[in-house]
Amino acid sequence: MALVLTEEQSMLRDSARGLISDKAPVSHLRHLRDSKDPTGFSKEFWHSFAEMGFAGLLVPEEFGGSGLGFVEAGIVMEEIGRTLMPSPFLATSVVAASALNRGGNAAQKSEFLPKISNGSLLATLAIDEGAKHRPLQTSLQAVRAGNGFKLSGAKALVVDGHVADLLIVAARTAGSAGERDGLTLFLVNPKAKGVAVERTIMVDAHNAARIELANVEVNADSVLGEVDQAAGLLDGVLDIGRGAVAAEMVGLSDEVFGRTVEYLKSRKQFGKLIGEFQALQHRAAELYVDIEITRAAVMKALQALDADVAKAASSVAVAKARAGTTATRAVQEGVQMHGGMGMTDQFDIGFFMKRARVCEELFGDANYHTEQLARARGY
């Protein structure tokens, strides 16, 4: 498949860009942050997102969704990355919807997927426990109790965890931390007894929570997929999330870069536009090339996910690793080339730097994914 957008995909990008840049520019994030908005995103805007068919973008049409693919989800993520809009799209529409669609039984799908599509249900995956993304290190315990399970343990960096109506919790039903066998996914109602949700205000003013579960009782119907055998399902769902975050980072990098190049063309020092200085020209050119290469790698990964999620791991590792190093470079050059202005809160560039840092940690940073590639290649 050609690594360029089709006509339909270009139209999707244009409509997503139009909507997002109009209704949720960076000032939207700034307002949510400064007003200490209790949800941290705009419910009203989420409903218009749903009306456009974006909330259920990946959901099959039989469950009220648009039935589109990961390339299309990446297109929306890239536009979200351009304005840093806090949105349930990643956690609900990409990660949770994929988990339910790929792992859910008929009853689970028909209960939750239509509500995701119409924007009435927010859901999220609770996976990380330690400071770094290490899915196999999951140690949150689920022990059998009667007809169901009791869950105990803690989760960190649960995206949208403070507003989610449904938690998809990775737990250990057997084995010990580090092992692939013995992982199980559970659908947990955050209002259930024993669930404590603490919203964590993050550096990027986006939304996340820490969640503690103390003997939370769930019944057997709450298992998503197979007991003890969630590792395969998780691999796919996490790779989908990684591809989506990588696409967000491409949008973010491209936007920061565009703003920086404009600044190089307008800021004067020593009687010259600073963009006339070769020291800055070459750095800008290097960054441009980095972004274009990463853009291609991310597109390749999203196409690989569309072709076969189970075979996309290496492409996704390359994409997320590249997206991490590229975005980190883009935001650092963005602040540096904006000089003192780049350090001010009044200027938007800092928001991009903060969001890039969070995206880097989401679903594994560049080091993590580089390591994954080395392992896959057997050295």
Partner 1 sequence: MSDSETADLETFRAETRAWLEANCPPEMRKPATSDADVFWGGRNAKFSSEPQRIWFERMRDKGWTVPDWPKEYGGGGLSAAEHKVLRAEMGRIGARPPLSSFGIWMLGPALLKYGNEAQKKEHLPNIAAGLIRWCQGYSEPNAGSDLASLQTRAESDGDDFVITGSKIWTSYANYADWIFCLVRTDPAAKKHDGISFILFDMTSKGVTTKPILLISGYSPFCETFFDGVRVPKSHVVGTVNRGWDVAKYLLQHERAMISGMGERGVGRPLGQIAADSVGTDAQGKLDDSMLRGKIASFDVDEAALAACAERAVDLAKAGQAHPAFSSAMKYYGTELNKRRYEILMSAGGVDALEWESERSKQGARPRAWLRTKANSIEGGTTEVMLGIVAKRILDLPGA
Q: Return d(Cα 377, Cα 368) in angstroms, integer.
A: 14
| Backbone dihedral angles phi then psi of residue 266, each to the nearest 5 degrees | -125, -25
Partners of residue 198 on adjacent β-strands: 210
Q: Residue 318 Cβ, how far from partner 1 at the closest point, in Å?
A: 4
Q: Which is nearer to partner 1, 112 or 363 (CB)?
A: 363
Q: Which is nearer to partner 1, 288 or 347 (CB)?
A: 288
Q: Residue 40 Cβ, how far from partner 1 at the closest point, in Å?
A: 33
- Please report, for residues 64, 65, 121, the alpha-carbon distance to residue 118 in angstroms, rounded to integers and kept in the order given: 7, 8, 8
Task: Kindly list the residues in this chain that would bind partner 1 in the complex (CB under 8 A).
Answer: 2-4, 261, 264-265, 272-273, 275-276, 278, 281-282, 284-286, 288-289, 292-297, 299-300, 314-315, 317-319, 321-322, 369-371, 373-374, 377-379
Q: Residue 124 Cβ, how far from partner 1 at the closest point, in Å?
A: 29
Q: Return d(Cα 250, Cα 327) in angstroms, integer.
A: 7
Residue 207 · residue 160 · CB < 8 Å? yes
Q: Residue 374 Cβ, how far from partner 1 at the closest point, in Å?
A: 4
Q: Which is nearer to partner 1, 196 or 289 (CB)?
A: 289
Partners of residue 196 on adjacent β-strands: 212
Q: Return d(Cα 190, Cα 184) in angstroms, integer.
A: 18
Q: Residue 327 Cβ, how far from partner 1 at the closest point, in Å?
A: 14
Q: Which is nearer to partner 1, 211 or 264 (CB)?
A: 264
Q: Which is nearer to partner 1, 42 or 315 (CB)?
A: 315
Spatial neighbors of 36 by CB under 8 A, at least 6 apart, are: none
Q: Residue 4 Cβ, how far from partner 1 at the closest point, in Å?
A: 5
What's the token pair of residue 258? 């565009």
Q: Residue 297 Cβ, how far from partner 1 at the closest point, in Å?
A: 4
Q: Count the neighbouring beta carbons within 10 Å of the beta carbon of residue 359.
A: 25
Helix (H, G, I), strand (E, B) or coil at 105: coil
Q: Which is nearer to partner 1, 51 or 339 (CB)?
A: 339
Q: Residue 368 Cβ, how far from partner 1 at the closest point, in Å?
A: 11
Looking at residue 93, the DSSP 8-state letter turns out to be: I
Q: Which is nearer to partner 1, 41 or 368 (CB)?
A: 368
What's the token pair of residue 252? 């973010």
Q: Return d(Cα 375, Cα 379) in angstroms, integer.
A: 6
Spatial neighbors of 346 by CB under 8 A, at least 6 apart, are: none
Q: Which is nearer to partner 1, 216 or 319 (CB)?
A: 319
Partners of residue 168 on adjacent β-strands: 125, 187
